[in-house]
Structure 1
Amino acid sequence: MIHLSRVVLGVVLVVAGAYWTVTRLEPSTELDEASRRIRLPPGFAIRIFAEGLEGAPRMMSVGPDGQLYASLMYGGQVVRLPDLNRDGRADRVEVVTGGLELPHGLEWHRGWLYVAVSTAVIRLRPGRSGWERETVITDIPGPSGHFTRTLHFGPDGRLYVSVGSETNFGPERDPRRAAILRFNPDGSLPEDNPFAGDPDPRRRVIWAEGLKNSVDFTWTPRGELWATHNGTDHLGDDLPPEEVIVAVQPGGFHGWPYCYTPGLGLNLKAERSEVPDSRTQGFDCRKAVPALFTAPAHSAPLGMTWARNSHFPPAYRDSLYVAYHGSLGVQDPAKYRDCKVERFVIQNGLPVRSETFATGWRLPGQMCREAWGRPVGLVIGADGAMYVSDAQGGRIYRIWYKGQVESP
């Protein structure tokens, strides 16, 4: 069941041969709670696009129809959130499919909506009698431990799927965990995978490993794969530094659980430090790929997006944006991590520095798990605005630049 504020009518429509479960919303033109709470750079504005979304909205994708689709992870649903009157608010919520086990990552590709669930990847498309559904991959390691699964299609047309670790400190029993996997769109094995000839058939789908929990990833304008990474817990408030951007190398081992990248900010040194734990002894950290950009421990970077297709000013359009979830692993209240959206300034293909883009979901001294909201996913919509999902608050926000796009 999905509940939304200002619900006035529930109906079932048939659109392009597909059946939609619909909840209608009254239009609203007033400033809302997000407008009052969230702080943005001058010229930007924020508004709640959809709210009352039960089941934890997580990742989003823009469909070929120009509308927003989102996963409701704990609700087991994928929903469509059209804004046909272009007032900056979802007109209604349309349930595309339900009954899924922990749906998370989703992306449109060649007419299909691919969805990553806990142990599989399915794909959907509207047909004459409803949504057609196919299972593409059936044997992704199960939902124990870090259970979110994120997928994206790369510039090479291959399907990439991130799988989190089973525990907070490995090693993994299944080599496909704490890794990014690579498939053909139909779920078959690409012949050019780094480990395609490995004797262990489970390793053949691995693209990169040693990534405890890469909740999201993207490709740079140069075609490089960058991923967020949530590292080892239980080493104190300051270790290890959070690896916000990892330049993922095909066939590379990126350090978890044995090594971490020292220092904060842009890292151009090819060095790793050993995690101070007896279970890491004997591993040579010189063999691990270091992170490209780090932040204070337990920042919990999740969703990421480029703003190239936005209607932001040019300086902001060329940046990368990352949602910080604000981890639970900090004991000192003075070091509680913020839940926010961070902007990364890119120069010569490198993230040279970061600055806060959107903040205000939590009060001073408050942990993010107790805050009004907690950002997760980011995507640029067909209207050039940025959409931010909030699994804790059950909302999706719309951020736009008033200087270039007329406010709704």
Structure 2
Amino acid sequence: MPAHSAGRSTYLLALLLIGLLSACGTSLSGATAFPATMKTPSAPEVSASTTASPSTTLFLPLVTRGILPPPDEASRRIRVPPGFAIRIFAEGLNGKARMMAFGPDGALYLTLMSAGQIVRLPDRNGDGRADRVEVVAEGLALPHGIEWLGEWLYVAEGDRIERLRDGDGDGRLEIRELVTDNIPPARGHVSRTLHFGPDGKLYVSAGSSCNICEEDDPRRAAILRFNPDGTIPADNPLAADPDPRRRPLWAWGLRNSVDFMWTPGGQLWADHNGSDGLGDDLPPEEVIIAVLPARHHGWPYCYTPGLGPNLPPASRMEVQDPRMPLPLGFTCEQAVPALFTDLAHSAPLGMEPGSSSAFPLEYRDDLFIAYHGSWNTTLASARDCKVQRIVVENGQPIRSEEFANGWRAPGKMCGDPATWGRPVDVLFGPDGAMYISDDHGGRVYRVVYTGP
């Protein structure tokens, strides 16, 4: 079962337990208040080994998951909407904390990309803080996207996809198997993200090697599609192509789609980081692209102009980037335009629907995206590193608003050393809380709904 499915199943179990408690006259209305007799949680202890096996231990109790730790640096710095609260879940995470997944054990797993590690962040006592940092795999080549399928943790590395599992019950994922190395080598945009689709296939995004250029490897700036064992699905658009590099292609013209997801209706949505060099305002970030198989999505030749929703039938068509001549026979009208755009240099990364959250109903159709923020604008106000809420109605994005903000140092860009943090990934846990990874501050945050 993919990690998202496992998490939602556990969350449904939590709702059932809460319902049983309510039926017995037990109220959880005070669960968000931290008991006065409980000590402030300390920073997680780092350990390279553990006796907790991901296949046998469930890190609950679920009933106490709503506990909110005391105010901390995150609650003082980061603004969230009324009725919500943010706290540090884990810190001291050296090595660029990137993408997250909840395991079948209910614990949070995280890639430390530059350290070549995957760590587990269990909260066994349910106090809203990770107990420790447990290294479960190391020696990986730029690990980024991760997702569980049964007992296997799939990991997208810079030049391959591997799957890992615990073979002896010690909690470390020591068994490693190569799934495929039919992805482009790590150059330029080196992060690789993977998810299993509703069709059971393995999808992998690979960014471009450059800011703007014509790639010599067709697998770059693309989303690739494999069977879970790494073979090529027979219904891939180019499954029978003479060039084996073209066989995994599903969609292309995506400069750097750091994350993607599927809507309830089965539509693949991806974000997209636009190129630099056209000033502070161009091209807009293509925050949501409805990815279509066997179609070109614009880069490096075209981009979607304007800001905000771009819904059919009155879509803004893609326009040509003046730096790139169009290939013979190709026009920007043939490229798939974005559904929703935002300010250039916002750098959208991890994205997650609110459907599995314990947030109020008005948030559950929406999409939450981590904006990594700018490192190279000339604007005095720069671009914020934040979590943005994309409001979705009738299956379409209609507007956006900030959900969590305050990481950027005043007057500085998000890439400045003085900035406190830069969100990377957003994920909802089995407890219905939002988890946010931060590769600049080396933290994971937890956001809970506390009530009106």
> Post-superposition shift, 1:133?
1.4
> Post-superposition shift, 1:5?
6.5
Partner of 1:356: 402
> Post-superposition shift, 1:95?
0.7
Partner of 2:372: 325
Deviations along 1:262-306, one digit per CA (max 9) or x if unpaired, are: 111011215110001154475411111111100011110000001
- Secondary structure at the counterpart of residue 198 of structure 2: coil
Deviations along 1:54-110, one digit per CA (max 9) or x if unpaired, are: 001100001111110000001100011000111110001111100111100000112
- Secondary structure at the counterpart of residue 251 of structure 1: coil
> Post-superposition shift, 1:209?
0.1
Q: Number of residues paired by the alignment?
A: 394
Q: Identify if the C-alpha distance between structure 1 residues 160 and 5 changes in structure 2 by more than 3 Å, giving closer, same or farther.
A: same
Distance in 2 of aligned mates of 1:11 and 1:147: 26
Deviations along 1:169-224, one digit per CA (max 9) or x if unpaired, are: 12111000000000000000000011112232211100100000000000001000
2:237 is aligned with 1:183 = no
Distance in 1 of aligned mates of 2:49 and 2:194: 30
Q: Identify if the C-alpha distance between structure 1 residues 6 and 178 changes in structure 2 by more than 3 Å, giving closer, same or farther.
A: closer
Structure 1: unaligned runs, 5 residues or longer: 19-26
Q: Which of 66, 83, 87 in structure 2 is aligned with 1:47? A: 87
Q: Identify if the C-alpha distance between structure 1 residues 50 and 6 changes in structure 2 by more than 3 Å, giving closer, same or farther.
A: closer
Q: Identify if the C-alpha distance between structure 1 residues 13 and 271 changes in structure 2 by more than 3 Å, giving closer, same or farther.
A: closer
Q: Which of 402, 405, 408 in structure 1 is aligned with 2:450? A: 402
Which structure has the highest strand share of the two? 1
2:165 is aligned with 1:125 = yes
Distance in 2 of aligned mates of 1:80 and 1:8: 12
Letter of the 1:13 partner, please give it: T
Partner of 2:50: 13
Partner of 1:23: none
Letter of the 1:68 partner, please give it: L
Partner of 2:236: 193
> Post-superposition shift, 1:11?
7.8
- Percent identical residues: 61
> Post-superposition shift, 1:338?
0.6
Partner of 1:274: 320
RMSD over aligned CA atoms reads 2.1
Distance in 2 of aligned mates of 1:186 and 1:261: 36
Letter of the 1:14 partner, please give it: T
- Secondary structure at the counterpart of residue 228 of structure 1: strand
Contact 1:212 1:256 in 2 (8 A): yes
Distance in 1 of aligned mates of 2:350 and 2:116: 19
Q: Which of 424, 429, 439 in structure 2 is aligned with 1:381? A: 429
Deviations along 1:24-51, one digit per CA (max 9) or x if unpaired, are: xxx9943110000000111000000000
Query: TM-score, normalised to structure 1's length?
Result: 0.92
> Post-superposition shift, 1:9?
8.2
Distance in 2 of aligned mates of 1:118 and 1:7: 28
Distance in 1 of aligned mates of 2:326 and 2:296: 15
Distance in 2 of aligned mates of 1:55 and 1:341: 22
Map of 1:233-252 to 2, 5 A cutoff?
233-252=276-295
Contact 1:257 1:275 in 2 (8 A): yes
Structure 2: unaligned runs, 5 residues or longer: 1-40, 56-66
Distance in 1 of aligned mates of 2:269 and 2:353: 11
Letter of the 2:155 partner, please give it: V
Q: Identify if the C-alpha distance between structure 1 residues 164 and 11 changes in structure 2 by more than 3 Å, giving closer, same or farther.
A: closer
Distance in 2 of aligned mates of 1:294 and 1:6: 38
Partner of 2:33: none
Contact 2:46 2:132 in 1 (8 A): no
